[in-house]
Amino acid sequence: MLIPRHEEFNERLLWLFVPDRLNGGILRSIESVDSDFGTWNEFSACSLARDKTSTEVCPYRPEELELVSYVPTECLESIQQEGIGVGCQEAKAFARFTKAEKVRDAAQREMITTLCVCVLLGSMAVQIQNLTQTLVIAPIEKMVNIIKQLAEDPLKKPDLTTFEESEVPKQTVQKKTQGPQLETTMLENTILKIGGLLQVGFGEAGAQIIGKNMASGDGELNIMMPGNRVVSVFGFVDIRQFTDTTECLEEEVMVFVNTIGCILHQCVHRWSGVSNKNIGDAFLLLWKLPSENSGRGRNDAAARTSDISNRALLSFIKFYAECRRSPRINAYKFNPRIIKRFGEGYKVNFGLALHTGWAIEGPIGSDFKVDASYLSPHVNITMTLESSTKIYGVILLMSEKFYMMLSVRTKERIRKVDIVHLGSGPQGLFTFPLNDEHVLLNPPNTHICGEVIKSTNSDVQLDNLEEEGAEYLFIVDQDVACLQKKLPEQVYSYFREAQTHWVTGDWQKAHQFCNHALEIDPHDGPSQAMVKFMARTNYEPPPEWPGYRSSID
C-alpha cells in the first residue's frame, strides 16, 4: 500500500519509481495514485527520471531531499543464499521524499543552541570581566591611587571615597569579610599600613622625602637632596627626673613615656601642630608659619601667624592640664617602686619651651638609617629655653620673638622673667604662670583630650569662636581659668619693679623689690633667679652693664 508520507521521516513524497504491475512489471515513474487516503500526484520537478530538457526547477535543496530504495525481502534472502536473485533484478522500488521541515527544525534547533551558547559565553564573559574588575583591576587602581596620593601629600591620609565598598557586589564583600583575605586586599592593606608608618615615622619633616622618592618610581631611596628652609614655631617638652623614673619602672618606662607622648601629640595635633621626634624624655614639636609671599597678603599672613602662635601656647597649656588629671599618669604615684624612690605625693613634672625662627628641613643619615629632622640654631635655642625652666623655677618659658607674635589678649596673661642674649641679640624671656593647685580635675564626660572646656553655664559656640581666633579660647577655656586662678599679682608687681631697676643698673633697689616679692611667695622662681644672679657680684652691676644677661647660666 502506498502512503503519501514516509513513516521514518514523516515528510512529503515527491517521486515514486516502482515496477508497474499493470504494464508487465516495467519500472516507471508513477504520476499519480488514487486511494482511500486521497490522491497523490508526482512532483515532477524533483523526479530523478525527468526530462533533462525540462525547465522546471526543484524548489528543494539537495540536503532537503531523501532517496529511499526498496528491495523485497525474498530477493534479499535469495541473493544472500545463492549470490544472485533470480527474477529479482528488477524488483526494486525508489521513492524520493522531502525532509525540508526536518532540516528547518534542525536548523532552528542549531540556531537556538548557538544563541544559547552565545548568551552563556556572553554572560560568563561579563561575569569574568566583573570579577576581574572587582578582584584585580579595581584593587590595583586603588593601590596606584593610594601611592599617588602619598606622593602628592605624604602626611595626608589617602582618600578612598572613590572606591566605596558599596560598589562591590555583596557576595564579594561577604567573602572578603568572612573568608580569607584576597591577595590584592592584603597588598592594599599593606600599602596603607606602610604609608601610615611612613607618616608616623617621618612626620612633617619627612613629607618631602616620602613624596619625592615615591614620585620617582625607580624604587631607590635618595636622601642626597637639599633641604627646605621653613619658618616655624618650635616647641620642646622634657620629662623631669626621667633617669630616676627609668631606673624605677625599667621595662614599664616605655608605657610611661608613651602615655605622656600620646597626650602631648593629641594636644599638639588638635591645635594645628605636628610632632617631629622624641629623644628619650624630650619631644620636639613645631607649627609651620605662613610666609608673606604665600598669596594671602601681609596682613592676612600676620593674622594667621598670630593665630598659630596662640594655638601653640594653648596646646601646651592643654597638655599640662590633661597630664595633671590623667588617671593613667596619676596612677604612678601609687607604684611601690616610685614611692620607694620619690616618696609619697609623686607627680610628673615637665619643662616646656616655645620659640620661633627658621630651620632647614630635610633628611639626615644614610641608606642604612634616615631621620627627617630640622637643623637650626633656633631649635637649639628652644632646647636651651626648656633647660632654663629649672633656673627660673617655672614650667614654661617663651622667647621674646614668640611672645611678640601672640595676640594682645594672650599677652595680658604672660609674665616677663628675664632679658638674656640669645642668638643674634638680647631677648626677653616670658612665662605663662600656672598654678598647680587649681587644676580642673573633673571635666565633662564627653570631654575629648586637648579640646577646650567651656563653663557649664556658657552658651558660647566653640566652633564659631575658634573661627574668630584662638585668642578668644583663652577666655572661655576652664583649664586656663583654673591654672591661673589666685595668682599672686602683688608678687608680679614687685618683680616688675625689681626688673626695671635691674635693667637700669640699680641692683640695690632691685634686690629690695625681689625681697618684697619673696616675702609674699618664697618659692617665686624668677625672683630667686634674679637674686642669685645679682649676688654673684654682691648686688653691684658689672662695668658697662648692658641691661641684660650675656647668657643663661
Each residue's pLDDT tens digit in the chain (553 positions)? 344 444 444 577 888 888 776 776 677 777 777 777 777 888 777 877 666 666 677 888 888 888 888 877 767 666 555 555 445 655 778 888 888 888 888 889 999 999 999 999 999 999 998 888 887 888 788 878 877 777 766 667 777 765 554 444 444 444 444 445 567 777 777 777 777 776 666 666 666 666 666 566 555 666 677 778 889 999 999 999 998 999 988 899 999 999 999 999 999 999 989 888 888 889 999 999 987 665 555 677 888 999 999 999 999 999 999 999 999 999 998 999 999 888 888 889 999 999 999 998 877 877 777 777 888 899 999 999 999 999 999 999 999 999 999 999 899 999 999 999 987 789 999 999 998 888 888 888 888 898 998 887 777 777 777 887 888 888 888 999 899 988 899 999 999 999 999 999 999 999 999 999 999 999 999 999 999 999 999 999 998 899 999 888 7
Q: Give the strand pairing for 350-365 and 370-375.
A: antiparallel
Q: Do the Cβ atoms of 61 and 99 come closer than 8 Å?
A: no
* Dihedral sign for Cα atoms in the order 145, 146, 152, 158: positive
> Contacts by 505-511 with C-beta closer than 8 Å and gap 24+?
505/541, 505/545, 505/547, 507/534, 507/539, 507/540, 507/541, 508/539, 510/534, 510/539, 511/539
- pTM for the whole thing? 0.70
End-to-end Cα, the chain, rounded Å: 137
Contacts of 448 (CB under 8 A, 6+ apart): none
3-state secondary structure labels for all residues of 435-497:
CHHHCCCCCCCCCCCCCCCCCCCCCCCHHHHHHHCHHHHHHHCHHHHHHCCCCCHHHHHHHHH
For residue 221, what is its C-alpha cell? Answer: 631611596
- Distance from C-alpha of 63 to C-alpha of 57, rounded to nearest angstrom: 15
Q: How far apart are CA 178 and CA 197, in angstroms?
A: 27
Take residue 69 and report the three cell numbers written for it: 530504495
Stretch (H or E) spanning 415: strand 415-422
The whole-number pLDDT of residue 6 equals 46
DSSP states of 317-369: HHHHHHHHH-HHHHGGGG-HHHHHHH-TT----EEEEEEEEEEEEEEEE-SS-
Q: What is the pLDDT of residue 294?
A: 57
Per-residue burial over 30-59, b if 16 or more Cβ lie within 10 Å, else e, is: beebeeeeeebebbbebbeebeeeeeeebe
* Contact of 223 with 357, CB cutoff 8 Å: no
- Write the DSSP string, 112-140: HHHHHHHHHHHHHHHHHHHHHIIIIIHHH
For position 468, what pLDDT does the model report? 78
Residue 256 CB burial class (10 angstroms; 0-12, 13-18, ≥19): buried
Cβ neighbours of 389 (radius 10 Å): 24
Domains of the chain: 12-98 (no CATH), 107-202 (no CATH), 227-434 (3.30.70.1230), 488-553 (no CATH)
* Helices 489-504 and 507-520, packing angle to 10 deg: 170
Closest listed residue to residue 349, CA positions, set 307, 396, 304: 396
> What's the pLDDT score for residue 261?
92
> Is 408 strand, coil or helix?
helix
pLDDT given for residue 143 in this prediction: 79
Collapsing DSSP to helix, strand or coil, 294 comes out as coil
Task: Quote the CA–CA distance of 401 and 375 in Å, as a whole number.
Answer: 19
Nearest to 256 by CA among 241, 234, 275, 276: 241
User: What is the helix (H) or strand (E) element at residue 515, kind and residue range?
Assistant: helix 507-520
Length of the chain measured in residues = 553
What pLDDT does residue 167 have?
46
Q: Which three cell numbers stand for residue 131?
A: 570579577
DSSP state of 157: P
Question: Distance between CA 66 and CA 48 in Å, rounded?
Answer: 12
Q: For cell 566605596, name the residue.
A: 164
Closest by CA position to 439, among listed 324, 352, 310, 346: 324
